[in-house]
């Protein structure tokens, strides 16, 4: 079921102005706290009224300010999973899931609830009350209750934010499996970068009430459209420069500190010599050159030397900051732990790295 929305809303010192189109897919609405993510979900569901705009599900307009259409929340057939799950404390797991099913007959209600209990891994917990469940079990129960009404659209507002890391990992995998079983048009709100990358085949990055970029995950994460998007999706290595050469898809950029770098640009990019641009590369895309091996032909361009000023553990990887060039330019690099051990990388070590042309992205 397609969802199309075009919404505007003004609040004290803040405004929303968004356009989105979502098909039978899971779209992640990603951005910093206060960007307007939750407010958009509430306007789509009908909890908050926009100032103007349209919300269309399939071929039905559930909200249209110009034509004075504003369907009540209960008639929109939208499932909304809140951060606090909002389970009824006086009802059992079975009762919570069955509560909203008013479109089926008695025996079919039991069949539906039993199906969802099995899918959500809640078997044996049917008679328990919410206070007798773990955080993950409450979340799965709330999602089952939301799916029980057979919504046309599913809205998930940071559904895993209150859970610990291990539970979050399991529930993210659950959600992907459930979306395969019930391919409902879904918008999931998060400010967690790892969660956005794991769950969203399509990602919309929102900042200050505006969608800055929307598209397939790989495009948004590796080809950010603005400096803001590059920062939000964790690129970190964002530099300024001036184009000094154009050769087909290859562009040469001069950065006053790093020097000359070469990058591939997409076909049709409108760039010209003398133009100021930004260029960026993700920390995990920076290649460390081993001093004990011949230089690989794939990394012979954009070689930079520098000193490791700090190194910080991050679970299975290490974050290093490399001071490069003639000034105070720092390059952030993320490498697996075994690479750090194998190459004896540490603070004060001088190394060479390559910014592969294919991994650099140019932002006009």
Q: Is the pTM higher than 0.85? A: yes
Could you count the other beta carbons within 10 Å of the beta carbon of residue 322? 25
Distance (Å, whole) CA 9 – CA 39:
9
Closest residue by Cα to residue 4 from 18, 20, 17: 20
Find the mean pLDDT for residues 57-64. Answer: 96
Looking at residue 143, what is its pLDDT?
Answer: 92
Closest residue by Cα to residue 320 from 293, 356, 292, 353: 353
Find the mean pLDDT for residues 71-92. Answer: 89
* Statement: residue 51 has pLDDT above 90: yes
What's the pLDDT band for 327 if we cut at 50, 70, 90?
low
- CATH architecture assigned to 3-231: 3-Layer(aba) Sandwich (3.40)
- For the chain, the straight-line distance linking the first and the last C-alpha, in angstroms and rounded, comes to 36
Positions of CATH 2.40.50.100 in the chain:
235-363
Positions of CATH 3.40.50.300 in the chain:
3-231
Question: pLDDT tens digits for 114-150?
Answer: 999 999 999 999 999 999 999 889 989 999 999 999 9
Q: Which residues make beta-bridge pairs with 237?
A: 281
Q: Decide: 319 and 334 in contact? Cβ < 8 Å.
A: yes
Phi-psi region at 92: left, alpha or beta (left = phi > 0; alpha = psi -120 to 50) = beta
* Statement: residue 104 has pLDDT above 90: no
Find the mean pLDDT for residues 151-156. Answer: 95
What's the pLDDT band for 360 if we cut at 50, 70, 90?
very high
Strands 250-255 and 237-247: antiparallel
CATH entry 2.40.50.100 includes domain 235-363: yes
Closest residue by Cα to residue 18 from 35, 5, 1, 31: 5
């Amino acid at each position: 079921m397609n969802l199309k929305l075009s919404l505007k809303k003004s609040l004290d010192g803040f405004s929303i102005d968004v356009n989105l189109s979502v098909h039978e897919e899971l779209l992640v609405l990603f951005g910093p706290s206060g960007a307007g993510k939750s407010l958009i979900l509430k306007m789509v569901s009908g909890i908050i009224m926009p100032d103007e705009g349209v919300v269309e599900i399939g071929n039905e307009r559930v909200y249209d300010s110009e034509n004075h259409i504003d369907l009540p929340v209960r008639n929109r057939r939208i499932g909304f999973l809140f951060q606090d799950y909002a389970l009824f404390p006086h009802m059992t797991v079975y009762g919570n899931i069955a509560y909203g099913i008013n479109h089926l007959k008695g025996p079919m209600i039991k069949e539906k609830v039993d199906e969802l209990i099995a899918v959500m891994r809640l078997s044996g917990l049917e008679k328990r009350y919410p206070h007798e469940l773990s955080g993950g079990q409450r979340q799965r129960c709330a999602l089952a209750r939301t799916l029980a009404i057979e919504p046309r659209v599913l809205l998930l507002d940071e559904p895993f934010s209150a859970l610990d890391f291990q539970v979050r990992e399991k529930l993210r995998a659950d959600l992907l499996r459930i979306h395969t079983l019930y391919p409902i048009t879904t918008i999931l709100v998060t400010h967690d970068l790892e969660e956005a990358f794991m769950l969203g085949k399509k990602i919309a990055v929102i900042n200050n009430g505006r969608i800055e970029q929307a598209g397939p995950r790989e495009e948004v994460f590796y080809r950010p459209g603005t400096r803001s998007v590059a920062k939000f999706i964790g690129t970190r290595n964002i530099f300024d420069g001036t184009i000094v050469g154009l050769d087909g898809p290859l562009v040469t950029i001069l950065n006053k500190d790093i020097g000359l770098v070469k990058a591939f640009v997409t076909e049709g990019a409108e760039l010209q010599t003398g133009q100021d641009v930004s260029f960026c590369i993700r920390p995990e895309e920076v290649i460390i050159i081993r001093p004990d091996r011949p230089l690989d032909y794939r990394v012979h361009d954009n070689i930079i030397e520098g000193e490791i000023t700090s190194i910080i553990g991050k679970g299975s990887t290490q974050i290093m900051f490399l001071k490069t060039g003639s000034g105070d330019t720092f390059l952030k690099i993320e490498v697996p732990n075994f690479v750090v051990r194998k190459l004896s990388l540490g603070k004060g070590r001088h190394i060479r790295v390559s910014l592969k042309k294919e991994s650099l992205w140019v932002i006009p």
